Amino acid sequence: MSQCIIISLLSTVLLLSSVEASLFSASAHRELEQMKIRVDMVHDKLISESCPEPDLQRTRRRLDHSTVAVDFEIETQLYRYLTHLLIQCRNNKVDFSTTPVISTTEPTPTSTTGSPLPPECLTAINLSESWRLDHSGSRLQPVNGDYKMDPRDMIAAGRPWFRFIGNAGNKLADFCVPMMSCGTVATLWSNSTMPSSVGVVSQITIYSHNAGICGLNSFRGSVMRCSTAANDLIYRYDDENRHGRYGFCGMNA
């Protein structure tokens, strides 16, 4: 009787070990697929922002994949490399003359993969219009021939995160911009303190220059830092006010 119990217990232990190994394998595969998705998202961002970008599929094909752990390490290194290129491209300091050095050796148990970019940073829309840099009150209008109504448009689009890039500058203006600038009537700006930690959402106050008064109206907004680069920030309009010709002004810092 005791021998049967021991055999039964051993069978149970072996079965549990097999189940645990299967669950671990499934978890590892999920993490690998999630990392591949992150890599593809950053790669798509490089393309959408007209940045030079490496042939991702070709790079993947030439790598000597073996175990799931090695594949995960390779995808993580690709993610870091593409993220570096994206940040550098946004800062207009990108150098694509070198290719990534990617190790295909089995990672040690103590190796770290680093923190991925916050997902908001990958899905944020880009404000790149040159008229957002007009601070002279010159009454420039967007191409559609009407003054901008950013709060209305942001609310209608589901309050997306947005960043300033290219011809629009690299950050939200931090000073009172004259009226009739930035493609609108009442300009929007913020002198709130910007966050220093990556991925942390901070609340900011957005001010308007309206009726000749700086700071006549104030609105709620959010900001998040996407990387340690100086002005790698994204913003969100959180207020309920959707009326009036208000527009976000950019600047180069």
pLDDT of residue 107: 44
Same domain (yes/no): 77, 199: no
Same domain (yes/no): 85, 142: no
Residue 101 lies in a domain: no
Backbone angles phi, psi at 122, to 5 degrees: -85, -25
Residue 107 lies in a domain: no
Same domain (yes/no): 58, 172: no
Residue 109 lies in a domain: no
Same domain (yes/no): 126, 247: yes
pLDDT of residue 13: 44
* Spatial separation of the C-alpha atoms in residues 238 and 236, rounded to whole Å: 6
Range in 22-31, 62-71, 195-204, 240-249 with the lowest mean pLDDT:
62-71
List the Cα angle 197/219/123 in 5-degree steps: 50
Considering its fold, how many domains does the chain have in total? Answer: 2
Residue 108 lies in a domain: no
Same domain (yes/no): 155, 215: yes
Same domain (yes/no): 83, 178: no
Same domain (yes/no): 59, 142: no
Compute the mean pLDDT over every residue in the chain, rounded to the nearest whole number: 79
Same domain (yes/no): 148, 197: yes
Which range marks the domain in which residue 46 is found?
2-90
| Residue 60 pLDDT > 70 | no
| Residue 9 pLDDT > 70 | no
Same domain (yes/no): 152, 234: yes
Radius of gyration for the alpha carbons in the chain, expressed in angstroms and rounded: 25
Tell me the torsion sign for CA atoms 88, 93, 99, 103: negative
Same domain (yes/no): 80, 130: no
Residue 113 lies in a domain: no
Confidence of residue 40 (pLDDT cuts 50, 70, 90): confident
* Spatial separation of the C-alpha atoms in residues 9 and 208, rounded to whole Å: 73
pLDDT of residue 111: 32
pLDDT of residue 194: 94
Percent helix, strand, coil in the chain (nearest 5)?
40, 20, 45
* Terminal-to-terminal C-alpha distance of the chain: 81
Confidence of residue 106 (pLDDT cuts 50, 70, 90): very low
Residue 111 lies in a domain: no
Same domain (yes/no): 49, 127: no
Q: pLDDT over 90 for what percent of the chain? A: 42
Residue ending a domain, choose from 90, 111, 146:
90
